[in-house]
Structure 1
Amino acid sequence: MSFCSPRVTLILALGLTATACSSALEPPDEIGETRDAIQDGYLDDGDRAVVGIYNAEIGAICTGSLIAPNVVLTARHCVSDMANEQDGQITCRSTKFTNTHLARRILVTTDAEIGQSSRFYGSSEIVLLPGDDVDSFCGNDQTILILDELIPESEAVPLVPRVDVPLKEGEQYYAVGFGATNERSTGAGLRRRRDNLFIDCVADGCPASVVKRTEWVGDTGICEGDSGGPSLDLMHRVIGVTSRGAEGCEYPIYGYVYGWAEWIKQTTVRAAGIGGYDVPRWATGFPTDPVYSAEIGGACEQPEDCATNACLDGRCTRPCTEIATCPSGYECNADLGYCAKLPEPPPSEDGGDEIKDGDDGDDEASGSCSVHPRPDPTKPVPWLLGAAGVGAVTTLRRRRRGRNRLG
């Protein structure tokens, strides 16, 4: 996909960046009668933290991301009216948000289908973006719902938003939503997922007339009702909030999670205080890459022996920072940026033999890649890392070459 193609240039020049906004449908008991798959997608019963949203005030559905027990990230146009649309289409020059709907009328479910039998959670607050120009649609189509009760982890484990690492053009992602299967708005109300999608452009790398710095352009397959739903990277972190797209459920534009990272973190910290639970670590600066939380300490000879792809002094290790600290018995080696095993305590005076200088390899590391018999974090043996280098530790996914679309 490229904005350079004649078709897309024509669509955007005419202002036909059709919103993927929530579909005005029948009440929940009449939603989701058809089970046709979304364009090249499939039904998704597993991603329960991708929630369905029913706006009872206007009879419409949307999608959202549960990022904390009482926090749902979604699109603002799912909860606000708009003005200055042109035949139902969004134009960045003039389309504005107006009245925001009542929070208590915005309902959320973790079920795979939005229907009369769904278990709904109510909203107590709608949190809008900060700033003076946030009523302009383009670039500001994100909002957060604070729920009036906690969703238990046994029902849905919250997703992690990627608030600490920017996106790159060409990254692979997948999208999940409760939207329709086509532009005629049929099939909405069931959670579906589409894989093997790729980022087209990000923020300033996109045409400024139609995509703002807090947005990015994706691949395809997003329809009405998917609005507010997440795009996720291959580490399952939320990277985008579905905003709008061109006709035919193509060329989706997403709100950029990284672009509003501080607002997302601050709102989640406040919501944790309201809900009385521990603040998620990512909201206080802990890295969102799961490698920083991986278990370590297993024996290894090569990096490939470890889930983190890093082996230090014969033990699997992981990267560390001042915030992403090491577990008990390890310390963060400042030179390497990895957790190193602390030396064993000396034997008691009344029993063991004292370890003397020069015994058992206490001299400085020789520079070889062999396993050191007594690791000393102040004198680290050269650490082993996969052939892809340090990048292989912080990104464990395989990057696909090319743009292999389904269908």
Structure 2
Amino acid sequence: MKKFALGMMLMAAACGNAAGENDVESMGEQRGALVGAPLDPHHPFAVGLCVGPLQADGSCPTGGANTTRCSATLIAPNLVLTARHCVERMVAVDPNDSCGSAFNGVLINASMHVTTDSTVLRPGAEWYTVQSSEGPSGNNSCIDDLAFLTLDRNVTGVRPAGVDLFTNVAERPPSSVAIVGRGAIHARWDTETGTRIEYDNGNLERRKLEAIPFVCAPTQLGDCSIVDYFQFSSHTFDVRPGLMSYGRASISGDSGSGVFSQAAFAKGRYFVIATNTLGAIDAEGLPRGSHGVRLQPHADYIRTVARAAAAKGQYPAPLWAR
């Protein structure tokens, strides 16, 4: 069992609201996934999600109890993949377990929109209305943190990313991954209270970071564990089968980002292998390490959703969904 001695808070990274030998160094290599990452003009399939009514100028509100702003990925002309906690509420089941919450089927807000614009904050951005949202049959806050949003019309002028439903990264792990997200460029938390004390959202613009070191994708509970010194003294978080871990933490706004194998991404083959959902902070309150929900374990369900969206949008189902 490998354990990473990090001060850790498993948190919804968004809502602006076999392991390698150098895992500890990898997890702490950079303080935030998108800190210093360049703006990304080349991957418009990495869309922005606004949960809650748009403002009069067409931008997404920057605050509100029933508003969240997340990253997402267009995986078919009218189908978007994001993190489930971006759109659905959770209830606590076990307060001593970092995955001890369950989705309860209640939407944060029925009004949801998606944009291919570089930022959800730009007045006049073009938005697509989310017509329906669904997630896996399970409701665990960690391993079932996937949501599929069907849009009211097909997105034009953007080539969707594909989905890799065949590669089991627990058996064939990538050496590194890439993400494209819209997270904050700096954040810091008070480790005693969990209060965010520093924050810069960077206008929630789309940013890309590559060569993020892969850490682990366990096949069974206990294969990969992290010591959590935040809130839970000496609490050990066992990375659940169905999740994957990688270095360079994601922070507010990054939930729902597509996670790609670096080798394929660098060659222009954009196939999502996981959805970025959880970020960690270290003992200093700085982001340091991330987790994503792997898509391959949900392959049959995802194919069913994609085929239904294709029928609605009147286009051939993607090859990966057939």
- Shorter chain as normaliser: what TM range? 0.7 to 0.9
Of 186, 194, 199, the residue aligned with 2:209 is 194
Matched residue, 2:184? 180
Matches of 2:152 and 2:110, distance apart in 1: 9
The reply on whether 1:81 has 2:119 as its aligned counterpart is no
* Residue aligning to 1:136: 140
User: Separation in 1 of the partners of 2:83 and 2:97?
Assistant: 14
Is 1:278 aligned to 2:284, yes or no? no
Give the corresponding residue for 1:59: 67
Rounded to whole Å, the distance in 2 between the matches of 1:103 and 1:18 is 20
Q: Structure 1 residue 239: deviation in Å?
A: 1.1
Aligned equivalents of 1:245 and 1:4: distance in 2? Answer: 17
Report the CA distance between 1:111 and its aligned residue: 0.8
Would the aligned equivalents of 2:119 and 2:203 in 1 still touch at CA under 8 Å? no
SS at match of 2:238: coil
Aligned length: 259
* 2:279 aligned residue (226, 245, 252): 245
Alignment check: 8 A CA contact 2:135 2:144 kept: no
Q: Report how far residue 86 of structure 1 moved.
A: 9.6
Correspondence 1:268 to 2:306: yes
1:140-219 correspondence runs (5 A) = 140-152=144-156, 154=157, 156-167=158-169, 168-183=172-187, 184-186=198-200, 187-204=202-219, 205-207=223-225, 209-219=237-247
Q: Give the equivalent residue in structure 1 for 2:61.
A: none
- Offset at 1:85? 8.7
Higher strand share: 2
- Residues 385-396 of structure 1 aligned to structure 2 (within 5 Å): none
Is the alpha carbon distance of 1:80 and 1:240 closer, same or farther for their aligned partners in structure 2, counting shifts above 3 Å? same
Shift of 1:221: 3.8
Matched residue type, 2:4: S
Asked if 2 retains the 8 angstrom alpha-carbon contact of 1:206 and 1:216, the reply is no
1:99, distance to aligned residue in structure 2 (A): 4.3
**Which residue of the partner structure matches residue 5 of structure 1?**
4
Please give the per-residue CA displacement for 1:168-227, whole angstroms capped at 9, x wherever unaligned: 335221111011012234125200011111210013243395322211101114111110
Distance 1:255 1:126, change over 3 A: same
Kindly state the Cα deviation for residue 232 of structure 1 after the two structures are TM-superposed: 1.1
Q: Are the aligned partners of 1:96 and 1:136 in contact in 2 as well (CA < 8 Å)?
A: yes
Does the Cα contact within 8 Å between 1:216 and 1:254 map onto a contact in 2?
yes
2:255 is equivalent to residue 227 of structure 1: yes
**Which amino acid is 2:47 matched to?**
V
Q: For the residues of structure 2 that align with 1:80 and 1:262, how far apart are their CA atoms?
A: 22
Judged with a 3 Å threshold, the aligned counterparts in structure 2 of structure 1 residues 253 and 102 are, in CA distance, closer, same or farther, namely closer
Percent identity of paired positions between Structure 1 and Structure 2: 24
- 1:213, 1:129 → 2: CA distance? 15
Equivalent residue number for residue 330 of structure 1: none
List structure 1 segments (4+ residues) > 6 angstroms apart after TM superposition.
none
Quick check: 2:81–2:149 contact (8 Å CA) kept in 1? yes
How does the TM-score come out when normalised to structure 1? 0.59
Task: Using CA pairs under 8 Å that are at least 6 residues apart, name the structure with larger relative contact order, 1 or 2.
Answer: 2
Rounded to whole Å, the distance in 2 between the matches of 1:18 and 1:164 is 28
Counterpart code for 2:49? I
Change (3 A) 1:95 1:103: closer
Alpha-carbon offset, residue 3 of structure 1 = 5.6
Q: What CA distance in whole angstroms lies between the structure 1 residues aligned with 2:134 and 2:126?
A: 23
* 1:279 CA drift (Å): 0.8
Tell me whether 182-191 or 66-75 shows the greater mean CA deviation: 182-191
Q: Distance in 1 between matches of 2:97 and 2:37?
A: 26
Q: In the alignment, what sits opposite 2:24?
A: none
Query: Could you report, residue by residue, the CA deviation over 1:282-339 in whole angstroms, capped at 9, with x for unpaired residues?
Result: 111xxxxxxxxxxxxxxxxxxxxxxxxxxxxxxxxxxxxxxxxxxxxxxxxxxxxxxx
Task: Name the CA distance, whole Å, in 1 between partners of 2:250 and 2:108.
Answer: 27
Gaps of 5+ in 1: 25-36, 285-407
The offset of 1:40, in angstroms, is: 3.3
Closer, same or farther: CA 22–85 of 1 in aligned 2, 3 Å: farther
CA RMSD of superposed structures (Å):
2.5
Matches within 5 A, 1:9-20: 11=7, 16-20=9-13
Separation in structure 2 between the aligned mates of residue 41 and residue 147 of structure 1, nearest angstrom: 29
Asked whether the equivalents of residues 3 and 224 of structure 2 are also in contact (C-alpha less than 8 Å), the reply is no
Looking at CA atoms only, which structure, 1 or 2, has the larger radius of gyration? 1
Contact 1:178 1:191 in 2 (8 A): yes
Shift of 1:102: 6.8
* Separation in 1, partners of 2:72, 2:114: 8
1:117 aligns with 2:129: no
Q: What letter corresponds to residue 218 of structure 2 in structure 1?
A: A
Report the 3-state secondary structure (helix = DSSP H, G, I; strand = E; otherwise coil) of the residue aligned with 1:5: strand
Query: Which residue of 2 is the match for residue 91 of structure 1?
Result: 98
* Matched letter for residue 163 of structure 1: L
